[in-house]
Amino acid sequence: MEVVTKGFELIIFDCDGVLVDSEPIINRAHARVLTACGYSITEEALIERFCGMSDAEMLDIIEREWGRALPGFYAARVGEMIESGFRQSLAPIDSVAEFLDGLRLPRCVASSSVPQQIRYKLELTGLLTYFGDNLFSATMVARGKPAPDLFLYAAEQLRAAPTRCLVIEDSAAGIDAAVAAGMTAIGFSGGSHCGPAHAARLQTHGAKLVIANMRELAVMTRLA
């Protein structure tokens, strides 16, 4: 399957929930440790409110609202749970490798995760070969999503005009960032963390199209 992407110079992919089905693993770990620390919250509530943000931004908001600092062991305990979950069940999004196989256009990853985690997740799922070193993290810019900084930085590094960039995102924050960057945003609602209202939410935030399966992306990018 060869993917035709007329009019674009670069496709920018989010990582969690777009390339790898990691959001439930990550948010389950945070929810369990936060609740054990006394801040009662569910996995679903974390996804609803913070999907697309970096962990640092999310935890800063929680600490300010809670009026307390999280314990020193928090990061290590969450990290251990996430690492175990990744090794047990992390998988690529269905059909994403097939889509990338047919893509004849520069592509990169722009994620709120830290660089080593982006690389690790792609290595673990066999997707790193499709991106090489074209991996960009929110730690590389002043402001993470929903600010446009990360997407603009990725486009600048790969010498692509923002108006000729196509962004694939599963979060409202990511769609906001793409729109603010002047890029075309396609929403993805096929991750296992996405509920029935997810597609409508992405459209409300400015996604030009919303797809539920990567097979649809081949058709949609022809029309975009």
Pairing mode of beta strands 165-169, 135-137: unpaired
Q: Which domains does the chain have, with CATH numbers?
A: 10-22+90-223 (3.40.50.1000), 23-89 (1.10.150.240)
pLDDT band per the 50, 70, 90 thresholds, residue 220:
low
Amino acid letter, residue 103:
L
What integer pLDDT is reported at residue 180 of this predicted model? 98
Residue with the bigger pLDDT between 224 and 206: it is: 206
Q: First CA to last CA across the chain, in angstroms?
A: 18
Task: Examine the pLDDT at 222 and tell me if it is beyond 80.
Answer: no
Q: Which residue has the tokens 């600010």?
A: 147
* Planar angle of CA 113, 119, 121, nearest 5 degrees: 80
pLDDT digits (tens, 9 = 90+) for 9-44: 999 999 999 999 998 999 999 999 999 999 999 999
pLDDT band per the 50, 70, 90 thresholds, residue 195:
confident
**What percent of the chain shows pLDDT beyond 70?**
94
Separation between Cα atoms, residue 46 and residue 48, nearest integer Å: 5
Which residues have C-beta within 8 Å of that of residue 163, sequence separation ≥ 6? 182, 183
pLDDT band per the 50, 70, 90 thresholds, residue 2:
very low
pLDDT digits (tens, 9 = 90+) for 145-171: 999 999 999 999 999 999 999 999 999
What integer pLDDT is reported at residue 5 of this predicted model? 57
Strand positions, DSSP E, the chain? 10-13, 107-111, 135-137, 165-169, 184-188, 209-211
Residue 16: strand, helix, or coil: strand
Q: Give the number of other Cβ atoms within 10 Å of residue 34's Cβ.
A: 20
Give the residue-averaged pLDDT of 72-94: 95
What integer pLDDT is reported at residue 223 of this predicted model? 42
What integer pLDDT is reported at residue 172 of this predicted model? 94
pLDDT digits (tens, 9 = 90+) for 46-77: 988 998 888 899 999 999 999 999 999 999 99
Sort 67 into a burial class: Cβ within 10 Å, 0-12 / 13-18 / 19+: exposed
